Amino acid sequence: EAQVTQNPRYLITVTGKKLTVTCSQNMNHEYMSWYRQDPGLGLRQIYYSMNVEVTDKGDVPEGYKVSRKEKRNFPLILESPSPNQTSLYFCASSLSGTGPNIQYFGAGTRLSVL
Amino acid sequence: QKEVEQNSGPLSVPEGAIASLNCTYSDRVSQSFFWYRQYSGKSPELIMSIYSNGDKEDGRFTAQLNKASQYVSLLIRDSQPSDSATYLCAVNDNTNAGKSTFGDGTTLTVKP
């Protein structure tokens, strides 16, 4: 089954404790992206990757890191989480980041930073 | 001004009515437009995509694009309670490949 898998689905952590949210897709998609969603707001793009070893900042990259060492994986790293990073996070992938870019989303990771 | 603005909700329509969702965007070079549906607590899923001016129909859904007015809309005919969700408008700029901008969403409730 074609899918985007995020782990963990739920995470509670404390300020300053490094964490990684994994994202994996099995569709051989070139493009992957991370978003955060806060109450009443749409999706805000954190980082995206056009292909292996190619990443770029979205609209809200501060406090986050990403890497794209393999085509299928695109982990989101919070080196020193803060309470304002409490949010619902979505990973998405698409065949290509150029032209029409229909994105397929993972189930989401709900993060609470205390 | 936000890059992508949607009509503020919530929007409530009776079952069987037409629901009209609107979206305006500020960047004239935007090329690709999408409507995603998001049920509460779930991830967004694509409903419609549209790339050229005019109407595009898919079942009960019609997307309308007017690039001159920088406006894209989604019409849902014969609305059903199962259409109750938040609808997100997304815009891609093909000159800035990879960047994807979403509106804040409009929450639709279809009352039986």
List of residues 6+ apart from B11 with CB closer than 8 A: B19, B21, B106, B107, B108, B109
Report pLDDT for B19.
Answer: 96
As a whole number, mean pLDDT of residues A2-7 equals 94
Tell me the pLDDT band of B9, cut-offs 50, 70 and 90: confident
Could you give the CA distance from residue B101 to residue B112 in angstroms, rounded to a whole number? Answer: 33
Q: Answer whether residue B103 shows pLDDT above 60.
A: yes
**A101:B105 CB<8 A:** no
Interchain CB contact of B104 with A (< 8 Å): yes
Q: Answer whether residue A9 shows pLDDT above 90.
A: yes
Most B CBs within 10 A among A10, A35, A43, A56, hence the mutation to make, goes to: A43
Could you give the CA distance from residue A87 to residue A63 in angstroms, rounded to a whole number? Answer: 13
Tell me the pLDDT band of A40, cut-offs 50, 70 and 90: confident
State what percent of residues in chain B have pLDDT above 90. 75
Most B CBs within 10 A among A56, A105, A109, A110, hence the mutation to make, goes to: A105
Could you give the CA distance from residue A85 to residue A15 in angstroms, rounded to a whole number? Answer: 10
Give the residue, B71 or A1, on which the prediction is more confident.
B71
Could you give the CA distance from residue B22 to residue B4 in angstroms, rounded to a whole number? Answer: 10
Average pLDDT, chain B: 91
Could you give the CA distance from residue A58 to residue A34 in angstroms, rounded to a whole number? Answer: 9
Report pLDDT for A81.
Answer: 97
**B99:A45 CB<8 A:** yes
Average pLDDT, chain A: 94
Distances in Å between the Cα of B110 and the Cα atoms of A103, A113, B13, B18 are 26, 35, 5, 10
Q: A66, A62, A19, A60: which is closest to A38 by C-alpha?
A: A60
Tell me the pLDDT band of A98, cut-offs 50, 70 and 90: confident
* Pairs of residues, one from chain A and one from chain B, whose beta carbons lie less than 8 Å apart: 67
Report pLDDT for B2.
Answer: 63
Q: Answer whether residue B48 shows pLDDT above 70.
A: yes
Lowest mean pLDDT across A69-83, B37-51, B62-76, B96-110: B96-110
Phi-psi region of B17 (alpha: psi -120 to 50; beta: other; left: phi over 0): beta
List the single residue in A97, A98, A107 with the smallest CB-CB distance to B43: A107
Tell me the pLDDT band of B96, cut-offs 50, 70 and 90: low
Most B CBs within 10 A among A90, A102, A110, hence the mutation to make, goes to: A102
Chain A residues within an 8 Å CB radius of B4: 42
List the single residue in A33, A104, A107 with the smallest CB-CB distance to B100: A33
Q: B4, B8, B32: which is closest to B101 by C-alpha?
A: B4
Q: Answer whether residue B49 shows pLDDT above 70.
A: yes
Tell me the pLDDT band of A100, cut-offs 50, 70 and 90: confident
Could you give the CA distance from residue A66 to residue B2 in angstroms, rounded to a whole number? Answer: 26
Give the residue, A42 or B109, on which the prediction is more confident.
B109
Report pLDDT for A39.
Answer: 86
Tokens of A3: 């899918």
Q: How many other C-beta atoms are found inside a 10 Å radius of the C-beta of residue B15?
A: 12
Chain A residues within an 8 Å CB radius of B42: 107-108
